[in-house]
Amino acid sequence: MTSEYEGLPLVLLESHAAGVPALSTDVGDIREVLQEYQTGVIVEDRHSIEAFVTGWDKFIHDLGEYGETQCWQRL
């Protein structure tokens, strides 16, 4: 998800309910949700292509861990 402003987008909640991790910019309460449930990666600078590439690389690298933590059952 890329956004300049979102409180807590429904698409994040819907994706998590379906067991899909997220790669997102740091807006609203998205960081808190992703950190608490360990279900995705935050792109630190939403104006930087390099930050998105770094975030994507971490997201892909850690993708297998999201299922292993069974975080979806805690939502």
62 within a domain of the structure (yes/no): yes
Q: What is the mean pLDDT of each run of 10 residues along the chain (75 residues)?
A: 71 84 88 88 92 95 73 53
CA distances from 38 to 11, 16, 34, 67, 71 (A): 17, 11, 5, 10, 7
| pLDDT reported for residue 20 | 87
Q: Based on the structure, what is the number of domains in the chain?
A: 1
CA distances from 14 to 35, 49, 51, 54 (A): 17, 26, 25, 25
pTM of the model: 0.77
Domain extent at residue 63: 10-74
70 within a domain of the structure (yes/no): yes
4 within a domain of the structure (yes/no): no
Best CA proximity match to 44, nearest among 26, 66, 32: 26
- What single-letter DSSP state applies at residue 8? S
Amino acid at 31: R
28 within a domain of the structure (yes/no): yes
24 within a domain of the structure (yes/no): yes
- State the residue for tokens 């997220």: 22
